[in-house]
Structure 1
Amino acid sequence: MAIIGVSVYFVSLEKSDKPELKQLKDNQTFLLDEIYNVTNLNNKISSDFKALAHNFTRCKNKSSQFSIQVQNLTQQQNNLTAENSQVKMKNHDLQTKMKTLTEEIKTCNEQKLSQALQIIDEYCPKEYNVRMCRSCPKQWIHSQSSCYVVHNPERRDQKTWEEARENCRGKRSDLPVVGNEEEKRFVDSNSWKDDEGKMKGFWIGLRAKGGKWKWMDGSDLTNQAWIQRQPATDGQCVTSLQKRKWTSVRCTDRNGWICKKKALSV
């Protein structure tokens, strides 16, 4: 009877607890689903966080790179600004130089034109409004392909060798370089000798330089017989005079002089 009673108790107890057990199982199932969902959500949140962290790092790196690029571009801009300033300065300098050069070219052309007109007036002077051209300017002597002018001033107006050469250059000529015997005879015959003895000689374009007799064009005197037994001592220059051999005297002495320039072909 006791056993039957106990069995009846448990059966009745099972019947009375069955709804609660079912409720507990349902709750358990619900909680398991919630746990699963929460786990999935947590995994998703963790994954999203990692993605956000990665993106943040990338954004931060990009921001750093962008900052570096901005700095580089700023530096490049500063460099370009400085270069632009230098280019402007150079351009200004070039414009100034071009203006100066243009003025110099203009002046040079004006001088050439003036010289050309002077040459025309020298060789082709107007006579009764008609230009008559001749081989040499007025008062110049024509010989072979050259023109010569002889200066035999009073003693007070005589010149040193350098002064005489400057005077010839002012006439677009130079002291004569004698090229052959015929020209030497011509120069000698026109190195006029006066009776009063005021003229000791006429400067020609020959002087001592570096122990040699040299002409104005840099060439050496080839015919030493023209100035025989005259040592080429620096500071000595040569004069010519009628009926006398060429003589070397100090270049600082004062004498007359002869100028020579090319004759015009007419």
Structure 2
Amino acid sequence: MPVEKMSWEEALDHCRVHHNDFGSVVSETENLLALSEVQAQGVDRVWIGLRYLVDRWLWVDGNPLEYEAWTMGGGQDQECPLWKRCGALTNEGLWENRDCQEELNFICY
């Protein structure tokens, strides 16, 4: 995981140029593996390859969104976000929707 922080789009470009792709967390096992990376870096949250497009949340690498680990209380902002259309993984192993322009650390695969 890079030390520098980037917007979601910048992180996506970085992952696709320097690695394979942006991190998708498609199972509880992958969520735990990603969480261990977050905790090892000592950060609060990292971008993952989750994006709200058209009318649903999608993984940018094409994986289906079958496993979910959203924070409690996301409500309408999570179900139909106006501004917070990019996904992040917290250091508690939960997903949040955040403003895509925010600069966070991120996970590439």
Normalising by the smaller structure, the TM-score range is: 0.7 to 0.9
Task: Note if contact 1:240-1:247 (Cα within 8 Å) is conserved in structure 2.
Answer: yes
- What's 1:208 paired with? 52
Q: Secondary structure at the match of 1:223?
A: coil
Matched, 1:241 2:85: no
Q: CA shift at 1:232, angstroms?
A: 4.1
- The gaps in structure 1 that reach 5 residues or longer are 1-149, 261-266
Runs of at least 4 residues off by over 6 Å: none
- Give 5+ residue unaligned stretches, structure 2: none
Is 1:166 aligned with 2:17? no
Cα deviation, residue 210, structure 1: 1.6
TM-score normalized with structure 2 length = 0.79
Q: Contact between 2:19 and 2:108, CA under 8 Å: does it hold in 1?
A: no
Deviations 1:130-171 (A, max 9, x none): xxxxxxxxxxxxxxxxxxxx1233xxxx10000001111121
Task: From the CA coordinates, give the structure whose radius of gyration is larger.
Answer: 1
User: Is the contact between residue 213 and residue 232 of structure 1 (CA under 8 Å) also seen in structure 2?
Assistant: no
Instruction: Decide which of 258, 261, 265 is 2:107's aligned counterpart.
Output: 258
If asked which structure has higher relative contact order (CA below 8 Å, sep 6+), I would say 2
- Sequence identity, in percent? 26
Cα distance in 2 for partners of 1:200, 1:211 equals 28
CA distance in 1, matches of 2:27, 2:67: 9
- Separation in 2 of the partners of 1:175 and 1:258? 6
- The answer to whether the 8 Å contact 1:200/1:255 transfers is no
Counterpart mapping for 1:68-217 below 5 A: 150-153=1-4, 158-192=5-39, 194=42, 199-217=43-61
Q: Distance in 1 between matches of 2:81 and 2:6?
A: 20
Aligned to 2:107, what secondary structure does the other structure show?
strand
- Verify the 8 A CA contact 1:177 1:217 in the aligned structure 2: yes
Change in CA separation of 1:161 and 1:191 when aligned onto 2, cut-off 3 Å? same
**C-alpha separation between the residues in 2 aligned to 1:176 and 1:164?**
10
Q: In the alignment, is the contact (CA less than 8 A) between 1:204 and 1:239 conserved in 2?
A: yes
Two-structure CA RMSD over aligned residues (Å): 2.0
Letter in 2 for 1:257: F
**Alpha-carbon distance between aligned partners in 2 of 1:205 and 1:234, rounded to the nearest angstrom:** 18
Q: How far, CA to CA, are the matches of 2:53 and 2:20 in structure 1?
A: 21
Higher share in strand: 2
The code of the aligned residue for 1:256 comes to: N
